Structure 1
């Protein structure tokens, strides 16, 4: 599906534009989510629920590295897009070269530190008791692939910056399919267990990076960098860092939450509680893909029309994005509430985990029908270039509201306190975001339209 061009963003009906923008974004998120979901099912059924918990322990590391690559990618891609539009090929190439350099420098340093302190870091991430040994096997191999993962995430955003969404989508599909095939071969056929799961994950990163490298070396890419482009340009790094900070902060908070929850749940219920959270977390990633797709599709529409002073269209895009995303969220809510037992049994044969997961899942998804207000609201501020409110509202749900709740409520309600923290954080952040969004719409969009009407009359 072709993306709408600039003129269409300001002319086509908002509803049609939202669908046109949201579908490819949703497909990309869906592919990645299915990969994570099926990977967890394979590991749970072929190795065991402890293996699911072990992977969940290592997930904060993978998330943070992926976030680092995305932050460098998004920050640099914004510069590249504008540079290509201004026919400044020199700056575009220099930015891309700096993206590669800084990604390699940072991630290789992280690999060295991670391997040096492996026995201290795994327990800190929640890899205790029976989880420690499989988590260590998985962690070590996945860490080898960290620079490749970061480069792949960075390179994918640059492909989009060049206006090649189909290549970017293929870059997401290849590692997903590759990981599932390698899971089957390494775990089920060759019986390599946790080592097989780890090499399947790292192998999928390598496949993705191989495709991205082919893209940039082929005639499909405009960015043919020279050796001199790898030299650090601090003005570019500064701009790149400022633009990518929101993305990095959001994903860093996710990593911190995984770390905290793995430790809290292990203390409260041992390995099985960590496995329950791993299943619930995978479902959160998978089930919300269309809601996140609508949110991503909303961004360029709101940004373009705001910049063009089409404030009525901006208000319409906010309302319809919330309406569409809420409709999808309600469907997700219904499925989770009706079929939690069936969903849990797909992931594992561990009867205790199957018994405990449905209640946790229902609590975690309890406030999902209203979450679109928080997601669209925070995305709106990002779309119009207001970085500070965008950052604060983006992390309000998972950071500002959720982290204090999971540190306080389990002391009084035990494991239930963990699960009820999810809907409470969703509710609190939605109220806060709704307030600021309403105020912004009233003070900026409605007031500006009224001012224009007075001027024209």
Structure 2
């Protein structure tokens, strides 16, 4: 009864009880329910990170594989025009991912902090309000997609050529109408990790990818439905993941967090906190979308001046962008995996565990980045050929662009995990700043400047070549900036550990 009464009260709540009224960690009927969460503050950190990271990394790869699968099937069935359509749609698809991460990562970060503080009801309110926000935003996206003026404006912003526009328009409109499945299936999925079930989180995502791949083959290859078939396959896969996620929180017994209709009632303070905590994740993806808009515009501009041509430049760099995103996803997976561990231990004031979790996470991301870098350099032609690019000159151009753009990949994990650390520990402003350094603050100016400067300094490179040199340079600058932030944070944690200061969040 106490929890029910509190749930009706104004937020913020401050209860050390679960949704049934039992004290956190002291439910005699279901002790395993609480152990799934409480072990984040007691178990071996390397073992916890391994347990959480493997399914999180695979989950991020699965999530990123949606775009790769679409591109592979469209490239094989339609050639360069299919790849170009996917490239034009890509920035808008990234915006959708950004919205999903804004809501899901923000709500999940809040839930992890509250569980660390022993406030289970508040964590469930965070889950409910995340669902509410997902539904509202999905309706707005669907309404926007129904307006041809808005959709055409987005395609113009993404530099769609006359030949590519009709294909991209069909693909995007279908995906927009099914956005609710992505928003819930991807965003709310993060809560399953915080509930102590990382393997279950992976399974819910894997279900969607398998379904999407099967229907892509059926619709695109067998039935010849082209971009419409690929888009339909994508949302069917996302819908399958969405159902699996909701099933876990509604029907699965003895889970640490449950989805209750009464906790979906909007609370402005909770919604505001979700948005503030999730904005760093949003900034990363939104920054990537802005970069894609800029790159598409510059590709058309400089590609038209190159023997490669505008449409082939879009197809080629579109492949590079997808491979680059795919190689970074395991690093993001490490950051996502340690987020609930950081949040729980920070909320519980276990500072030494917070510090160790961060450094183990950085080490793991660095190893993975090095492995992904090695794979790209060992099999670049095979990777490019899988997307349907077969013209010899275009293959050479794409392979070189791929190697240059991923030059800093072995140490990019430090920047990704470092910026995510501040989000997980309730310091969203720092996380936002660091997220923007890599995607906006450094990269966008370099994209405009290098094509004008590099050909004059090194005449063997064209303006088109200069576009992919911008990424490794921006990566270096953002890594250096993150190192400064982390050094300052380590000193702050020492003061927090000695009791000289208090955590403000």
TM range (shorter): 0.7 to 0.9
Q: Counterparts of 1:146-295 in structure 2 under 5 Å? A: 146-220=179-253, 223=258, 225-226=260-261, 230-269=264-303, 270-295=310-335
For structure 2, list consecutive stretches of 5 or more residues without a partner in the other structure. Answer: 1-32, 304-309, 456-462, 501-505
* Count of aligned pairs: 447
Question: 2:395 maps to what in 1?
Answer: 354
Question: 1:343 maps to what in 2?
Answer: 383
Give a deviation string over 1:197-216, Cα, whole Å, max 9, x none.
12111222222223334444
Shift of 1:430: 1.0
In the alignment, the residues of structure 2 paired with residue 108 and residue 312 of structure 1 have an alpha-carbon distance, to the nearest angstrom, of 43
Question: 1:52 maps to what in 2?
Answer: 83
Deviates more, 1:176-185 or 1:313-322: 313-322
Deviates more, 1:292-301 or 1:255-264: 292-301
Distance 1:361 1:88, change over 3 A: closer
8 Å CA contact retained: 1:49, 1:350: no
Question: 2:144 maps to what in 1?
Answer: 113
Question: 1:137 maps to what in 2?
Answer: 170
Distance 1:387 1:233, change over 3 A: closer
Question: 2:108 maps to what in 1?
Answer: 77
In the alignment, the residues of structure 2 paired with residue 95 and residue 323 of structure 1 have an alpha-carbon distance, to the nearest angstrom, of 31
Shift of 1:312: 5.6
Instruction: Give the structure with the larger helix fraction.
Output: 1
Instruction: Let me know the Cα RMSD of the aligned residues.
Output: 3.1
Question: 1:455 maps to what in 2?
Answer: none
8 Å CA contact retained: 2:112, 2:344: no
8 Å CA contact retained: 2:212, 2:237: yes
8 Å CA contact retained: 1:253, 1:398: yes
Question: 1:123 maps to what in 2?
Answer: 156
In the alignment, the residues of structure 2 paired with residue 111 and residue 235 of structure 1 have an alpha-carbon distance, to the nearest angstrom, of 26
In the alignment, the residues of structure 2 paired with residue 276 and residue 139 of structure 1 have an alpha-carbon distance, to the nearest angstrom, of 20
Shift of 1:305: 5.5
1:402 aligns with 2:443: yes
8 Å CA contact retained: 1:55, 1:135: yes
TM-score if structure 1 supplies the norm length?
0.87
Give a deviation string over 1:90-115, Cα, whole Å, max 9, x none.
x5665544433332333222322233
Shift of 1:185: 0.4
8 Å CA contact retained: 1:63, 1:255: yes
8 Å CA contact retained: 1:29, 1:289: yes
8 Å CA contact retained: 1:107, 1:150: yes
TM-score if structure 2 supplies the norm length?
0.79
